[in-house]
Every structure is written in structure tokens, then in C-alpha cells.
């Protein structure tokens, strides 16, 4: 546990079992994380699946939290929420999923080890992360990668649709 709360961004995604309801439940679960407070939520977005063809579209969003949890404690909490929502890990890579919760950014931390890469390794190439993040944090600086706005401007929307 850290003493001072940190600002973190979490990406939410689902394409199974009523994805809109899954994301809403995901937001509720984030609201009740220990030592944390959910500050902002993006709208929900419908996105074309990245990965194997033949999957349903995804619903994606981003949440901003203030948390006193360490990045490792936060990861453990997010994995517990995913498991509680029926996510089974260890299946086919990039397969359809009930609820995915990714740490995108953790304050100004840059780290890479066997379990965690922060900033999230692929976030700068994913419209379904960049656009919702930009909605709630338009002036954000990405540690080691400059301002978010330039990444959004370079990233095609690929049919991303804001739904609510």
C-alpha cells in the first residue's frame, strides 16, 4: 500500500454475455475497490474486435481511479474482479472475453517485468483505449511517449462508435 494516492487509468472490455451489462458491473466493482476511489468514467464504445475473426464486437471504456494500492495490489484486485465475472484465463490468445480489466497507466510509472508492463504495452495503437481515455483526460501526458492528443490524432477510429 502506498501512502499517497496515485492516479491510474483502467481499460475495460467485454464481448461476451451482454457486454454493456458486464462493463456496468465492472464500473460498480471498480467503485468498491479497497483504498481507491473512481474519479471518472468514459462513455461506452462499440469496437471491432482486434484479434481472431468471427468474434462479436467489443464494448470498451476507460475509468480513472485514485488509489493507494500498489500496481501489484491493483493488478491482483482487477484479476479477482475478472475471475468473479467468469473470466477464464489461459485459453486461446486474444479470444473473446467476458470482462477484461487492464492497468493502462499508473501515475508516472514506467515498468516492465514478467507480470506487468506500464504503460500498457499496446495501448498507443488501440483506438478503443485512446479515444475513451482522451474523452476523460484530454490533457494527459503518457509517461515516456508524449501527449495523448497526438496519439489519438494518429490512430484511425476503425469504426469505433460511442454508444452511451
- Asked whether position 9 contacts ligand ROI by CB under 6 A, the answer is no
102 is catalytic: yes
Which residue among 87, 89, 113, 126 is the active-site one?
Answer: 87
- Asked whether position 43 contacts ligand ROI by CB under 6 A, the answer is no
Q: Which stretch binds ligand ROI (CB under 6 A): 25-33, 48-56, 136-144, 149-157?
A: 48-56
DSSP string, 20-77: HHHHHHHHHHHHT-TTEEEEEEPPPEEEPPSSSTTPPPEEEEEEEEEE-S-HHHHHHH
126 is catalytic: no
- Asked whether position 64 contacts ligand ROI by CB under 6 A, the answer is no
Please say which residue, 48 or 76, places its beta carbon nearer to ligand ROI: 48
Distance CA 3, CA 56 (A): 42
Please say which residue, 21 or 48, places its beta carbon nearer to ligand ROI: 48
Cell numbers placing 58: 467489443
SS3 123: helix
Residue from 18, 21, 31, 51 that binds ligand ROI (CB under 6 A)? 51
- Grid cell 515516456 in the structure block, residue: 144
Catalytic residues: 87, 97, 100, 102
Amino acid at each position: 500500500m502506498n501512502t499517497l494516492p496515485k492516479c491510474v487509468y483502467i481499460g475495460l472490455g467485454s464481448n461476451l454475455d451482454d457486454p454493456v451489462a458486464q462493463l456496468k458491473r465492472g464500473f460498480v466493482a471498480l467503485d468498491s475497490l479497497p483504498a481507491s476511489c473512481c474519479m471518472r468514467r468514459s462513455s461506452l464504445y462499440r469496437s471491432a474486435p482486434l484479434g481472431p475473426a468471427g468474434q462479436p464486437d467489443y464494448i470498451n471504456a476507460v475509468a480513472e481511479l485514485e488509489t493507494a494500492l500498489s500496481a501489484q495490489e491493483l493488478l491482483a484486485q482487477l484479476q479477482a474482479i475478472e475471475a468473479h465475472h467468469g473470466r477464464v484465463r489461459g485459453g486461446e490468445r486474444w479470444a473473446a472475453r467476458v470482462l477484461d480489466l487492464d492497468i493502462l497507466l499508473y501515475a508516472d510509472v514506467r515498468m516492465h517485468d514478467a507480470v506487468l508492463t506500464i504503460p500498457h504495452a499496446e495501448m498507443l495503437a488501440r483506438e478503443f483505449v485512446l479515444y475513451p481515455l482522451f474523452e476523460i483526460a484530454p490533457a494527459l501526458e503518457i509517461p515516456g511517449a508524449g501527449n495523448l492528443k497526438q496519439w489519438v490524432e494518429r490512430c484511425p477510429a476503425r469504426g469505433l462508435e460511442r454508444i452511451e
